[in-house]
Amino acid sequence: MRIYRDVELVESLGSGIPRILRAYGEDCFKFTDNFIRITLPISNHDHASDHASDHASDHASVQVEKLVSALIGEMGRSELQELLSIKNRDYFRTDYLNPAINQGYVELTIPDKPNSQNQRYRLTAKGIALKNSLTNNK
């Protein structure tokens, strides 16, 4: 019983199935009396890059999606933290900002001085595509 409750909690907090449905559609799911079969298509890596905007949210975490959705124009770290109601600077940096930068959704306005007090952040083309796909899927 404990495992079931934990799994139910994790799934209710996660976004796995809704993200799969957005990216691939309901035809990936086949239901029988005792099983659910999920068949995901395998795409050619070169071909997949042509459709980056179609599947922009495929690899973005929920935190990165929230950051991308909140980012307007150029914003500083403290502005973003306040907008997202995140108090802990380290948590924001490790779970939101760094993954968004490393995955190419967000870029620094002063890339040669990452620790500058004047540092601001803006969406890349990939980030804009993700933001648009999140807006269209609401």
Least reliable range by pLDDT among 37-41, 74-78, 116-120? 37-41
Report how far residue 114's alpha carbon sits from residue 77's, in angstroms, rounded to the nearest whole number. 11
* Average pLDDT score over residue span 30-51: 63
Q: Given a cut of 80, is residue 10 above it in pLDDT?
A: no
* Average pLDDT score over residue span 69-89: 93
* Tokens representing residue 93 in the block: 């940096």
Instruction: Report the number of secondary-structure helices (H) and strands (E) in the chain.
Output: 8, 4
Report how far residue 13's alpha carbon sits from residue 115's, in angstroms, rounded to the nearest whole number. 33
Strand ranges, E, within 18-90: 29-31, 36-38
Domains present along the chain, CATH in parentheses = 2-41 (no CATH), 62-136 (1.10.10.10)
pTM above 0.75, yes or no: no
Binning pLDDT at 50, 70 and 90, where does residue 61 land?
confident
Other beta carbons within 10 Å of 133 = 20
Report the SS3 class of residue 4.
helix
- Tell me which of 12 and 64 has the higher pLDDT: 64
